[in-house]
Structure 1
Amino acid sequence: MRKAFVIASTLLLVAFALQFVFAAVGAFTKPAGDGAYALHSVTGTAIIPVLTLLTTLFAALAKAPGRLIGLAILPLGLVVLQALIAMLANASTDASGTSTALGLTIGGLHALNGIIAVHVVVAVQQAARKLTAPAPADAAPVAVREGEPA
């Protein structure tokens, strides 16, 4: 299960990296129609949530520490926050539908939250890899008596 945890967390990291590429594709598509951000939207609303759930499941099955399991599910909350930020930014336009300073500021938080999410996924992926690393040859085994905390 630990290898599955590494694979899922790596795929999640790749999906987040592609998210930035897809955002750039949307930003540079001319003319920018309704479909300019389609890949970005699908990745953010479907692929990343599914990969986050799989990563969390494999973390639990790999008997990862509770904090790591919690960290593994955190990107799902950040994706929900992303959607809320995007909705707020889009709703913060003037009567003619033109962007406002407030809307652009809120939109900037969308990018910042994405960067935070990537850092979380990098931490999860690194911790997953650490779990699969073999113990050093010179490490002394730790004896644990029954009934004592490990």
Structure 2
Amino acid sequence: MRKALVIVTAVLLVAFVLQFVFAAVGAFTKPAGEGAYALHSVTGMAVIPVLTLLTALLAVLAKAPGRLVGLAVLPLGLVILQALIAMLAEASTDASGTSTAFGLTIGGLHALNGIIAVHVVVGVHRAARKLADPALAGVALVTVREGEPA
């Protein structure tokens, strides 16, 4: 289970990296139609939450410490916050639908929250690797064969 946890946290980290790429694709798509951010939306609202829940489940099954289980769940809360930030930024336009300074500031928080989420996932991945590798956790496994000095 611990090796599976390491693998899933690595996949989750890749999904977050791709999320930034998909945001850039949306930002640079010309003309920017409704589908410009489709990959960004699907990854953020479906792929990342599923991987986060799978990470938390594997952390529990791997008998990870409570702190690691809590950190494994945290990206889900940050994704929910991302959606709320995006909705608030979209709603903060003037009467003609033009962005306002307030809306753009809130939009900037969307990027900042994404960076924070990546840092959390990096921490979860590091902790999972440490949990999976007894040498990193300070436990040395020694194999002694019959006839050899211990």
Give the TM-score taking structure 1 as reference length.
0.90
Query: How far does residue 15 in structure 1 lie from its aligned partner after superposition?
Result: 0.2
3-state secondary structure, aligned to 2:10: helix
Query: How far does residue 133 in structure 1 lie from its aligned partner after superposition?
Result: 1.1
Cα separation, partners in 2 of 1:139 and 1:52, compared to 1, 3 Å? closer
Partners of 1:111 and 1:53 in 2: CA distance: 22
3-state secondary structure, aligned to 1:35: helix
Q: 2:85–2:110: 8 Å Cα contact kept in structure 1?
A: yes
Query: How far does residue 135 in structure 1 lie from its aligned partner after superposition?
Result: 2.8
3-state secondary structure, aligned to 1:37: helix
Question: 2:119 — aligned with what?
Answer: 119
CA RMSD of aligned residues (A): 1.5
Question: 2:91 — aligned with what?
Answer: 91
Question: 1:36 — aligned with what?
Answer: 36
Cα separation, partners in 2 of 1:97 and 1:139, compared to 1, 3 Å? closer
Partners of 1:140 and 1:28 in 2: CA distance: 51
Question: 1:76 — aligned with what?
Answer: 76
The runs of 5 or more residues in structure 1 that have no matched partner are 142-150
Partners of 1:133 and 1:67 in 2: CA distance: 18
Correspondence 1:50 to 2:65 = no
The runs of 5 or more residues in structure 2 that have no matched partner are 142-150
Q: Deviations over 1:107-130 (max 9, x none)?
A: 000000000000000000000001
Cα separation, partners in 2 of 1:132 and 1:26, compared to 1, 3 Å? same
Correspondence 1:100 to 2:61 = no
Partners of 1:72 and 1:82 in 2: CA distance: 17
Give the TM-score taking structure 2 as reference length.
0.90
Matched residue pairs, number?
A: 140
Q: 2:5–2:128: 8 Å Cα contact kept in structure 1?
A: yes
3-state secondary structure, aligned to 2:82: helix
**Percentage identity across paired residues of the two chains:** 81
Cα separation, partners in 2 of 1:129 and 1:140, compared to 1, 3 Å? closer
Q: Deviations over 1:49-86 (max 9, x none)?
A: 00000000000000000010000000000000000000
1:113 maps to a residue whose letter is N
Partners of 1:11 and 1:28 in 2: CA distance: 26
Question: 1:144 — aligned with what?
Answer: none
Partners of 2:14 and 2:117 in 1: CA distance: 12
